Amino acid sequence: MIRAMLNSNLYILKKGVLMNTNTPALKPLARELRNNATRHENRLWYEFLKNYPVQFNRQKVILNYIVDFYCDAARLVVELDGIQHTTDEGREADAERTARLEALDIKVIRFSNAAIDIRLRGVCREIHDAVCIRFKPASAFVFSDDGKTLIMSSPIHYTQV
């Protein structure tokens, strides 16, 4: 385990993710957010991410943030943005949060709640493409011809080095 001090906060490097040890209050809040997810978060979770071949977590604490969805294998955050993110203040906070996460080599992709309502299948494809770029074994999975399910295109082979 690696410990570091940044901005007077103690962080530990756990499974490749920098975690803020000074925010223990965020874990119960993250649990509460999971239990009271928005309609859009539930739709993306239950219709796609829950059974995605590469594991995603909901309401994950990273630094002093709670991200909507996190894939550790691809170091990918998926954020769903409601109306509060369209204000100048909301956009500014999102930009700072994204910059801090991307400084840790965590890619952040954002979708509006409207995108979940209007083009869920397209959102799922964008998430899948992002995972494939950042986690190569996931590219063995492709969407079926009907675009509704993921299927294995070829067996995944691992080589020991």
Instruction: Enter the pTM of the model.
Output: 0.71
For the chain, the domain total comes to: 1
CA distance to 72, 100, 105, per residue, from 88 (Å): 30, 18, 26
| Residue 134 within any structural domain of the chain | yes
d(CA 29, CA 53): 27
| Residue 17 within any structural domain of the chain | no
| Residue 136 within any structural domain of the chain | yes
Contact 84, 90 (CB under 8 A): yes
Q: For 31-56, write each residue's pLDDT tens digit.
A: 787 788 899 999 999 999 999 999 99
95: nearest Cα among 80, 104, 106, 85: 85
142 vs 16, residue with greater confidence: 142
Strand ranges (E), 50-125 = 57-62, 65-71, 76-81, 107-112
Place of tokens 């223990």: 24
| Residue 52 within any structural domain of the chain | yes
Mean pLDDT for the stretch of residues 11-28: 59
| Residue 14 within any structural domain of the chain | no
Contact 112, 104 (CB under 8 A): no
Full residue range of the structural domain in which residue 44 is found: 37-57+69-152
| Residue 1 within any structural domain of the chain | no
